[in-house]
């Protein structure tokens, strides 16, 4: 529009495109104000389109992150199940071989031994996963409250013991400082 303002516009007479008439079109001040408003509105719409484009891009990233988080949860569940059942499959594979020289096969408590071994492996796997925080076990509220009270008690006991220790040894520290100052004073007098 700025280029159109700098050169005269040609008018089309009667809908035909004749380039022979070089009469300039006169733009009134009202029309010029209206065109400037249109330019401002076009700039505002352009800025809105850019903002919406950026917002759409952020929403797309949010969707990708949400899907990734859901996949991460599914993979964690599969990892936990695999961690439990992989050792059991290994043990079942060993005892499922067609060898006759495995001592537990002919033992009276062989099945009990096998199932107790499996239960022990599962419990060990669950403890290790809980310890490494792969799984979270939500304790009952009364247990959490007791843990919180124990931590507060332990903190109070530690503070009390530390204060008692400081009171007990602060006298020795003051005495040591006084003795060392006295020794320094005696050394100065001897010189």
Whole-number pLDDT of residue 178: 63
pLDDT per position as a tens digit, 54-66: 999 999 999 999 8
pLDDT for res 41: 95
Phi-psi region for residue 14, left (φ > 0), alpha (ψ -120 to 50) or beta? left
Q: Which two structure tokens, joined as six digits, stand for 54? A: 């950026």
Report d(CA 139, CA 136) in Å as an integer: 9
Q: Is the pLDDT of residue 38 over 90?
A: yes
Report residue 22 CA to chain centroid gap: 69
Beta bridge partners of 24: 10
SS in 3 state form for 74-143? Answer: HHHHHHHHHHHHHHHHHHHHHHCCCCCCCHHHCCCCHHHHHHHHHHHHHHHHHHHHHHCCCCCCCCCHHH
Statement: residue 6 has pLDDT above 60: no
């Amino acid at each position: 529009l700025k280029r159109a303002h700098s050169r005269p516009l040609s008018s089309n007479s009667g809908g035909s495109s004749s380039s022979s008439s070089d009469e300039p079109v006169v733009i009134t001040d009202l029309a010029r104000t209206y065109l400037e408003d249109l330019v401002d509105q076009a700039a505002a719409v352009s800025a809105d389109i850019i903002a919406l484009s950026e917002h759409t891009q952020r929403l797309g990233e949010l969707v990708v992150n949400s899907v990734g988080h859901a996949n991460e949860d599914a993979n964690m569940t599969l990892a936990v199940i695999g961690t439990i059942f992989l050792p059991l499959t290994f043990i079942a594979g060993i005892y499922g071989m067609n060898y006759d020289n495995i001592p537990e096969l002919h033992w009276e408590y062989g099945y009990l031994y096998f199932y107790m071994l499996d239960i022990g492996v599962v419990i060990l796997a669950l403890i290790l996963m809980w310890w490494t925080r792969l799984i979270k076990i939500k304790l009952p509220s009364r247990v959490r409250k007791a843990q919180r009270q124990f931590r507060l008690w332990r903190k109070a006991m530690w503070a009390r013991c530390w204060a008692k220790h400081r009171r007990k040894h602060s006298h020795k520290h003051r005495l040591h400082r006084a003795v060392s100052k006295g020794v320094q004073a005696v050394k100065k007098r001897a010189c």
